[in-house]
A and B are shown apart, each in its own frame.
Chain A
Amino acid sequence: MGASAPNLAGGVPGPGGGRPILAFRAGVWNDNPIAVQILGICSALAVTTRLENALVMGAAVIFVVMMSSLLLSLLRKAIPRRIRMIAEVAIIATFVILVDQFLRAYYWDMSKRLGPYVGLIITNCIIMGRAEAFALHHRPGISLVDAAANGLGYTFILAVIGLVRELGGTGTIVFGERVLVTIPGYPMNLVLRGAPGAFIALGFLVALLAALGLRKTREAQG
């Protein structure tokens, strides 16, 4: 929510309204949920200590945003406008609980590492934002594309931050038990690995994307 909170309230249709390819590009790049819309920052910072965590979190968000957008889009004519928020939260919560229970059952270590941040997908504004700004005004097919694109855009930024923080923080990339990359003799960098590094890395990433010409319409905000 945050910087583009008015978007939530106004229910303005997202960019690239009609055509799938445009909606896709908008979600992944031009209107990237994290770097451009500044949504879903909390989890982007919290779970990116490692690349693996970032990717799992990204997958979880892609699943939740796609399923909830699809369902809300199918039900868009049936949901009365006044109670739409509650309907949205209920539907999103259902899918988040599914993901949470799935991780607990099959990937206990990962579930413990992500901790409460899986549950916090409910309050991840990207999902609510897509529901409000897109799924409630568009047909299921295009809503699914839009949701997938935004989920991928989110995952992409998470992966970049995760990569920077894991490689920059410890000099290694570890997936499960396997060590993929090691920089020999790399000193531990606790700043990058810890909380300050997360803020600073995301700050520089947002600035980098701004320098590349994104965020032009949103300069006034934030």
Chain B
Amino acid sequence: MNETSALVIFVAAVFTNNILLTYFLGMCSFLACSREFPTAIGLGAAVTFVMTATTVINYLVYHYLLVPADLGHLQLVVFITVIAAFVQLVEMVLERFSPRLYYALGIFLPLITVNCAILGVALFMVNFEYSFVQAVGFGAGAGVGWTLAIVLMAGLRRKMAYANIPAPFQGVAVTMITTGVMALAFSGFAGMVSIQ
């Protein structure tokens, strides 16, 4: 058990240990949904929400159900089931209260289930042996960090639409390289705060 405060973990998860830019998680939806601002923000908000909530649920399930029963090896199946069920719930709520956002996110809402960032955060939380408060800080920070990255990318891609990019680089390649440059910029935060 480490003693880092939850706030430090939150800041670290946003900047120095950004879930996308240092752990490479959630790349798929990042590449596909970073073309427009509103979609990026909507998806970012959805991911942040799902991530924070599922981290809480998964923490409780892991520490109060799986560990006492000595079923730690089932964590993968249990985590993914919790996430899938929760996403289904969010989808139903969104469809009811915000149809516009629901249609904007389209196919990508169910795909949050297989967004590796969300499962990844749950697994990292177990790996890092976080306490409950720390896990909440990490989950929320990772979500905010992911949102920050995708919103920044949407801004960059808007500018890129006017750039003269060589044919082979168009599409994914240039997005990937831009993400690399963004990761380089974020590595400037390194050492500010640190978690494992």
Contact = CB atoms under 8 A, between A and B. Distances in A.
Partners in one complex: yes
B34 to A, nearest CB: 10
A9 B108 CA distance: 11
Contact of A100 (B76, B177, B181, B183): B76
B177 A42 contact: no
Interface in A89-145: 89-90, 93, 96-97, 100-101, 115-116, 119-120, 122-125, 128
Contact of A211 (B24, B114, B127, B168): B168
Contacts of B107: 5-6, 9
Interface string A174-205: 00000000000000000100111111101110
Interface string B1-42: 000000000000000000001111111111110000000000
Contacts of A191: 184
Contact of A2 (B28, B77, B174): B28
B111 A198 contact: no
Given A2-B28, A93-B76, A199 B180 contact: yes
Interface in A13-44: 38-39, 41-43
A82 to B, nearest CB: 14
A87 to B, nearest CB: 13
Contact of A3 (B26, B31, B177, B183): B31
Contacts of A148: none
Interface in B48-107: 73-77, 80, 84, 107
A192 B33 CA distance: 26
A156 B176 CA distance: 19
B187 A207 contact: no
A120 B169 contact: no
B173 A204 contact: yes
Contact of B31 (A38, A89, A115): A38
Interface stretch (B115-123, B130-138, B139-147): B115-123
A79 to B, nearest CB: 17
B168 A199 contact: no
B175 interface: yes
Interface residues of B, number: 48
B80 A93 contact: yes
A120 B28 contact: no
A200 B123 contact: no
B155 interface: no
B116 A120 contact: yes
Contacts of B180: 195-200, 203
Contacts of B183: 194-196, 199
A42 B168 contact: no
A208 B168 contact: yes
Contacts of B174: 203, 207
Contacts of B32: 1-3, 5, 222
The 5 closest A-B pairs by CB, nearest first: A2-B28, A199-B180, A203-B176, A116-B123, A203-B177
Interface of A: 1-3, 5-6, 8-9, 38-39, 41-43, 45-46, 86, 89-90, 93, 96-97, 100-101, 115-116, 119-120, 122-125, 128, 191, 194-200, 202-204, 206-208, 210-211, 215, 218-219, 221-222
Interface of B: 21-32, 73-77, 80, 84, 107-108, 111, 114-116, 119-120, 123-124, 127, 166-177, 179-181, 183-184, 187
5 contacts: A3-B28, A43-B24, A97-B74, A101-B73, A203-B175
